[in-house]
Amino acid sequence: SEQMAKKFVLVRKIDAVETLGCVSVFCSDKTGTLTKGEMTVQDLVVPMPGGPGEGLQVFNREAGTQTFAAKHRETLADIAL
């Protein structure tokens, strides 16, 4: 709460802030709001198999099909588990 006070954060619903502090993944649309209640992954960034110190892997959806490339399906399936 001290850190929030230093940044002059205003909170209307403290329950929302407490819940947000417990998440490990956060998704938002380009405006930073959750408007429709559903989202689709556009890009996925994950640590390399050796850990974050080894770098990051970036997976982008293909523009024409809006799906991830077939060559990444096995890797993405492993990540989802």
Ramachandran area for residue 48 (φ above 0: left; ψ -120 to 50: alpha; else beta): beta
Q: Which of 21, 56, 38 is nearest to 79 (CA)?
A: 56
Q: Rounded to a whole number, what is the distance in angstroms from the first to the last CA of the chain?
A: 35
Reported as a single tens digit per residue, the pLDDT across 18-40 is 666 666 666 666 665 555 666 66
DSSP state of 64: T
> Structure pTM?
0.46
What share of the chain has pLDDT > 70, as a percent? 67
What pLDDT band is residue 50 in, cutting at 50, 70 and 90?
Answer: confident
For residue 29, what are the contacts with CB-CB under 8 A and spacing of at least 6?
A: 35, 39
Q: Give the pLDDT score at 39.
A: 60
Q: Known catalytic residues?
A: 29
